[in-house]
Chain A
Amino acid sequence: MATEQPFFQIDDLHVEIEENQILRGVDLSVKRGEIHAIMGPNGSGKSTLAHTLMGHPSYEATAGQVLYNGEDILERDPNDRAKLGIFLAFQYPLAIPGVSTLNFLRTSLKAVKQEEISAREFRRHLLDKMDMLKINREFAGRYLNDGFSGGEKKRMEILQMAVLEPQLAILDEIDSGLDIDAIRAVGEGISSIMHPDMSIVIITHYPRILHYVKPDYVHIMVDGEIRQSGGFELAEELEAKGYDVLLKEVMVASTQTQQA
C-alpha cells in the first residue's frame, strides 16, 4: 500500500476569502479506500478547506495544488468536480423551494453520470436508498431541504451521497445537530455506502461518529494549518483533554524536539 500513488493530494494549499488569508499551507494525502478525519476548533478553516475542494467561487486558492487522480482540479468548476466523483456534504445544506427532492436528485444523477435515467427507474432507485438509510419515503416528494429540521437536512446529504456514489466524499460536520439515534443512523448509513475504492474526508468536532466511520488518520487543524496528525487514538485523546491542553503538549513536544 505504501507505494501506491495517493489518489487525492493537497499540497501547501493557501486560500483567501475576500483577501483574508484563511488557509496557510494545508497538506493532506488520501489513498483510495482511506478515511481521514479532520478536527479543529471553530473558525480554524475546516469548512473553508471543504468549500475550496469543491470549488466555491468566493474561495481563492493563492498557492498550492489539489491533485485528484494526478490532475490539478483547482481551476475546475464545481459541477466538473462532481462529475469527477467528488462530493461535499454541506455543514449548512441549502433549501431549494419548489423543487422536489426526487426531481432534484434525478437531475443531479443525470448530470453527474452523464446518462439518461427514466423517471420510473430513478424513483425505484431512490426509494431503495431511502429505505436503506431509514428515511421516510415521504421526503422524496418534499421540496429539497425546505422547512427540514437540521437533522433531516443532514440525513438528506447522506441520501444524496448514496444516490451519486462518489469516489471521494467530504463530509463537513455531518453529525452536528443530530440526536444520538440519528448519529447512529447516519454513521451506519455512511459505512453501508462506503466501499473499498471510496475515500472519505470527515470533518467533525466529536469522536462519536468516528466509531461508525472509523478513520485511518485523524488530523487537527488550527489557524488554517494541519497542526497534528495521528490515528484514531488522537480523536479520543482530544476528547479527554480538549484542544488547549492537547495543543500545548504538542507545542512543548515540538519545542523539545527542536531543542534536542
Chain B
Amino acid sequence: MAVTEKDIQESKRVYKEKYGFADPEQAIYKAPKGLDPERVIEISRMKNEPEWMLEFRLKSLEIFNKKPVPEWGADLSHIPFDDLSYFVRTTEKQGTTWEDVPDYIKDTFDKLGIPEAERKFLAGVSAQYESEVVYHSIQKDLEAKGVIFLSTEEGLEQHPELFRQYFGTVIPSADNKFAAMNGAFWSGGSFVYVPKGVQVTIPLQAYFRINAEQMGQFERTLIIVDEGAYVHYVEGCTAPVYSTDSFHSGVIEIIVKKNARCRYTTIQNWSTNVYNLVTQRSAVYEGGVMEWVDANLGSSITMKYPSVYLMEPGAKGDILSIAYAGDGQVLDAGGKAVHVAPNTSSKIISKSISQHGGRTSFRGLLKIYKGAESAKSAMRCDALILDSASRSDTYPTIEIEEEQVNLGHEAVVSRIGEDQLFYLMSRGLSESEAAGMIVSGFIEPIVKELPMEYAVEMNRLIQLQMDKAVG
C-alpha cells in the first residue's frame, strides 16, 4: 500500500487541469507589493469609502503590525508578507449579467461551472475574481421580498446604516492578527440581509477565484438573518497552481437573530500554494440556529475554526467540518463554541483525512460561561490516516465555569486497515477505488448534510485529491 510519487503527481495534474489553470494577468490595477499604509489609503480611495471606513482600515493595520504571527498552530513563519500584492482590480464595474464581465474572466467561471450551477440550483450568485466581485445576481422574487445580496462594497454604499450597525461587531480587528489584516485590506465578499420571516429555500453561492501570482485576497462577508428567517450561503474557491505563494484571509461575520437559522457551507479547494487563514464567527440569539459546514481540501496551510457565540437562551450551533491534507499540506481546522446563555447547545463534529504525507490537526474549543445553565455540547473528531507518511493530531480545549452542563467528547484516530482494503479489493475494486470508497463512507455523515449537488461535488473532489483520475 505504498504511496508512489506517480500517485501524487497524478492528483496534482488533475487539479491543475480542472482548477489550477491560469489566465494571463490583465489587471487594470495591481497594488505595488507590501504592507505600506499608503496601500490602505489607496484601496479606500479607489472604493470611494466614507471616512470611518478608512479609519477602521488604518486602525486595523496598526493592530496587525503590533500582533505577532501566532506560533501555537501551523508554521506561518514563511508567509512572504512583503512579496504580496494586496489589491488587484480587474474591472471598473461589477456585472449583473455575465455579458458585463470581461470575456476571459467569464471563460474562467464557465470552466468552473458557475453559470451552469446558477441556472440549475441557486437563488443567487456572487463571483469574485482577484480582489473584487465581478458579477452578482439574485432571483427577482427574493429581491422583491427585501432580501439583500450584494458585494460588501455595495452593501456599504447602499445600506450604510445597517452596514455600520453590524460591521466588525462579531469579529473586531483586535481578535487576531489575520482578522486585523483583513480589516486593513478587505475587499470583496458578500453583504447579505434576510428580512424577518423570509425563507431563502435554495442556496446563495459565492465563488472566490485568485488568478494573479503572489497576491493576497481579503474577502469580507457580513450576513444578517433577521428574526425567523432562513438562508443557506455556500462559498467555493480555487486558484491556479504557481510555485510562489498566495494568501487568502477572509473574515465572515454572521448575526442570527431570534428564531432565525443560517447555514454557511464552505468548499475550499485552493491550489496547494495558497495560505488560507480565515476567521468565521456567528453570534446567535434566542432560539436561533447556526450551522457551519466547513470542507477544506486545498491550500498549503489552512487555519480555520468556525465559531458560534450562543448569546441568548435556546441558541444552537453546529459545526461540521471535513479536512483533507495531501502532499505538503497542513490542514489545521475544527471549531469553537462559546455558551453565554442557559439552555444553549452546540455540536462540533470533525472528520479529517491525511494522505501522501499530509497533516491534519483538529482544534476544538468549548467554553461555557457561568450562568449558561443546562448548556449541552458534544465534540467529536474522527481522523483517518491513509498511509504511514501522514499524520493527525487533536487539540481539544474545554473550559467550563458552570456546573449544570451536559458534555460529550470523543476523539478517534484510525488508520485505513489493510484488511478493509483487502475486503473491498476481493470484490473487484482497485486499491485506490477501495480507499476512495472507505473515505467517502467516512465523510458520509457530513456530506449527507449538503444539498445533493454539493454532496456529489464533494465526493468527486475528494476522490480527485486521492490520486484517482476521474474520467
Contact = CB atoms under 8 A, between A and B. Distances in A.
Is chain B a partner of chain A in the same complex?
A: yes
Interface of A: 51, 54-58, 77-79, 81-83, 87-88, 90, 93-94, 96-99, 104, 107-109, 111-112, 143, 160, 164
Contacts of A111: 427-430, 433
A82 B443 contact: no
Given A94-B423, A104-B437, A99 B444 contact: yes
Contacts of B426: 54-55, 78-79, 81-82, 87-88, 90
Interface residues of B, number: 24
B438 interface: yes
A96 B420 contact: yes
A115 to B, nearest CB: 12
A54 B248 CA distance: 49
Contacts of A57: 1, 418, 422
Given A54-B422, A83-B428, A109-B428, 18 more contacts: A57-B422, A77-B431, A78-B422, A79-B429, A82-B427, A82-B428, A90-B423, A94-B419, A96-B420, A97-B444, A98-B442, A98-B444, A98-B445, A104-B437, A108-B428, A111-B428, A112-B428, A143-B441
Contacts of A82: 425-428
Contacts of B14: none
Contacts of B422: 51, 54-57, 78
Contacts of B423: 90, 93-94, 96
B429 A108 contact: yes
Nearest to A110: B428
A112 B420 contact: no
B200 interface: no
Contacts of B428: 79, 82-83, 108-109, 111-112, 164
Contacts of A79: 425-431
A65 B429 CA distance: 24
A97 B418 contact: no
A247 B423 CA distance: 34
Nearest to B439: A98
Given A97-B441, A98-B445, A111-B433, A160 B420 contact: no
Nearest to A105: B427
Interface of B: 1, 417-420, 422-431, 433, 437-438, 440-445
A94 B424 CA distance: 9
Q: Which one of B1, B427, B440 has the greatest number of beta carbons of chain A within 10 Å? A: B427
A108 B444 contact: no
7 contacts: A77-B431, A79-B431, A82-B426, A87-B426, A93-B423, A96-B423, A99-B441
Contact of A96 (B1, B418, B430, B437): B437
A99 B437 contact: yes
B468 to A, nearest CB: 13
Contacts of B419: 94
Q: Which one of B417, B419, B426, B429 has the greatest number of beta carbons of chain A within 10 Å? A: B426
Contacts of A94: 417, 419-420, 423
B425 A78 contact: yes
Nearest to B351: A98
A208 to B, nearest CB: 26
B448 to A, nearest CB: 9
Contacts of A96: 420, 423-424, 437-438, 441
Nearest to A56: B422
Q: Which 3 A-B pairs have the closest CB atoms?
A: A98-B441, A98-B444, A111-B428
B86 to A, nearest CB: 42
Contacts of A83: 428
A109 B429 CA distance: 9
